[in-house]
Amino acid sequence: MLWPHEGRLDRLVDELGQLGITKVRSFAWRDRDDPDAGGSEIHADEIFSRWVAAGLPVEHRTSSIGNATLLPRSYDSIQRGGRFDVFARVASREVIRRQPADTAIVEIWNGVPWFSPLWRARAAVVWMHHVHGSMWDDAIRKPFNHLGRVLEAKIAPRLYRNASIVTLSDSSRVEIEAIGIPPSSIAVVPPGVSDRFQPDEARRAHNPHVVIVGRLAPVKRMPQVVRSLAAVRGQLPTLTVEIVGEGVARQELQTWIDANDASSWVSLAGRVDDAALVRAYQRAWFVVSGSHAEGWGMSLTEGAACGCPSVATDIAGHRGAVDPAVSGILVSDVDAIGQAVVDLVNDPALLEKLRGGAISHAANFGWDAVAAAQLGVLLDRARR
């Protein structure tokens, strides 16, 4: 992990200013207001808000979400372009324009690259949370899924070999190295956990209760998770499940709930505000993720901060968000989640140990330290 600049954010901003860099321009696929916003968008918002508070202005450029009302924020947000043409619009413009000497670039590479190494910016870093790999099959139809995979794994890495790339976990770093990025170009800075996520045992459900949090997207495999939990309800007849989030898989989930008369034990909460999300974690016995690709799995550390152990698939990203046998357990496949929940419910001593371990694990991750470490990478790049 990279934590050399913890607690020094104001000083880092001053040092960057001494090098002549006084502002940041960022480019991302989605903004936090987007209905499909997830961990990547929260990550950017938490960091940019802290950079601005420390005196470093940020302009954040994303695709447009139409007439949606922007949530209040301290940095400038520009939304233009469609879901996919925004990449071509930005890349074609930036590669030919003269980049301001006082402006650093943050590229958030979320599957489709922005090709910032071609922009001739004085200082630029790339946030790449994970390699998408098989996620392309879930995201877009053939043959564009194959084109996306080739672009990400074969073409783009040749341009980014000398870039400064920051990822969220050691397991994601290994994946990025595998597509051809040298280890010396990759830094690891895990995401933070907001202070609002706190345990409250008075809210804990009396019976086994699972919470699943995130975009209802195919990559998250939430319908498979629910089926795995349904298969063990004979062993845990009082088990209940709460799913928090919105997305394209909602109809599939609702159809399954209706077809299996499961509304008494599976609920779809939709997208909720921050306070309701905290209460959802505090109610739960476990936070579960069956995703097959993640940069980190922020719901797992948010739940951990509320004293909620994780049961999650053993994938890159989850291996950093979960400390196995300390804050939760990792299983080989999504179908194994249900039985893992049963085993933990039947071992109260282990469950209590994991609750305490989850709180301790989550305490390692603070957004102030993350913002400083990320700015430290940008400062190091500017010095070079």
pLDDT in tens, 328-384: 999 999 999 999 999 999 999 999 999 999 999 999 999 999 999 999 999 999 998
Domain ranges of the chain: 9-192+366-383, 201-362
| pLDDT tens digits along 70-108 | 677 888 888 887 777 888 788 888 888 888 999 999 999
Alpha-carbon gap, residue 26 to 262, rounded angstroms: 44
| pLDDT tens digits along 135-161 | 666 666 677 777 777 888 788 889 999
Q: Is the pLDDT confidence value at 222 over 90?
A: yes
Q: Which CATH class is domain 201-362?
A: alpha beta
Q: Is the pLDDT confidence value at 3 over 90?
A: no
Peptide bond into 309 cis (omega under 30): no
Domain 9-192+366-383 matches domain 201-362 at the CATH topology level: yes
pTM of the predicted structure, to 2 decimals: 0.84
Whole-number pLDDT of residue 66: 66
Task: Give the CATH superfamily of 9-192+366-383.
Answer: Glycogen Phosphorylase B; (3.40.50.2000)
User: Mean pLDDT for the chain?
Assistant: 90
Q: Which residues pair with 79 in a beta bridge?
A: 62
HSE-CB of 305 using CA atoms within 13 angstroms:
21
Nearest to 168 by CA among 193, 152, 138, 192: 192
Whole-number pLDDT of residue 130: 83
Alpha-carbon gap, residue 359 to 254, rounded angstroms: 33
